[in-house]
Amino acid sequence: MDATFLSQLLQPICEQHSLDLDDIETIPAGNRTVLRIIVDGDGPDGTGPLLDDIAQVTRAISEALEDEPAVGNRAYTLEVSSRGVSRPLTLPRHWLRNTGRLVKVRRTDGTELTGRIVGSDDAGATLDTDTDQASVQFADIAKASVQVEMNRKQPQPSDDEQEN
């Protein structure tokens, strides 16, 4: 299955459901192919697509693939999911959607940095580290991923914010 063809077929479907087509993976599995579609988007609470969003886009993608002879006539297993925290941050929108989360960055020079995303733009991000704020340019990043925090304390509103 050609990834470029699949991308052209599936991108408009994802957009109709207010989602971004993030990645397409085709994995041989015996006589079948696992077709893994990764989507991303802004859910109502800013945490990404809801399960209902994934279910709706999965039905639409499945129908489109079945109607496409180049795909529908082949044996495949369709998997559609959101990015999750295990996928690396590779695009500016990934950084924006993860503002406030703790990330670990390995730069192209081999140095590592861990900090909380406090801002980002198309060129890079600003991280709040244990000691200060650090700017990282996306071009200088070899790998970046969200760190899972089980017991993160939520920031408490200040007295001024409570009065408003």
pLDDT tens track for 64-73:
998 887 776 6
* Phi, psi angle pair for 134, to nearest 5°: -130, 140
Question: Does residue 163 carry a pLDDT above 60?
Answer: no
Would the pTM count as exceeding 0.75?
A: no
* Phi, psi angle pair for 154, to nearest 5°: -80, 140
Multiple choice CATH, 92-146, 3.30.420.40, 2.30.30.100, 3.40.50.1010, 3.40.190.10: 2.30.30.100
Is the separation of the CB atoms in 19 and 50 below 8 Å? Answer: no
- Residue ranges of the chain that CATH labels 2.30.30.100: 92-146
pLDDT tens track for 25-49:
999 888 888 999 999 988 766 667 8
Domain 3-82 falls in which CATH fold?
GMP Synthetase; Chain A, domain 3 (3.30.300)
Q: What pLDDT, on a 0 to 100 scale, did the predictor assign at position 86? A: 80
Strand-pair partners of 135: 126
Question: For the chain, what is the HEC assignment?
Answer: CCHHHHHHHHHHHHHHCCCEEEEEEEEEECCEEEEEEEEECCCCCCCCCCHHHHHHHHHHHHHHHHCCHHHHCCCEEEEEEECCCCCCCCCHHHHHHCCCCEEEEEECCCCEEEEEEEEECCCEEEEECCCCEEEEEHHHEEEEEECCCCCCCCCCCCHHHHHC
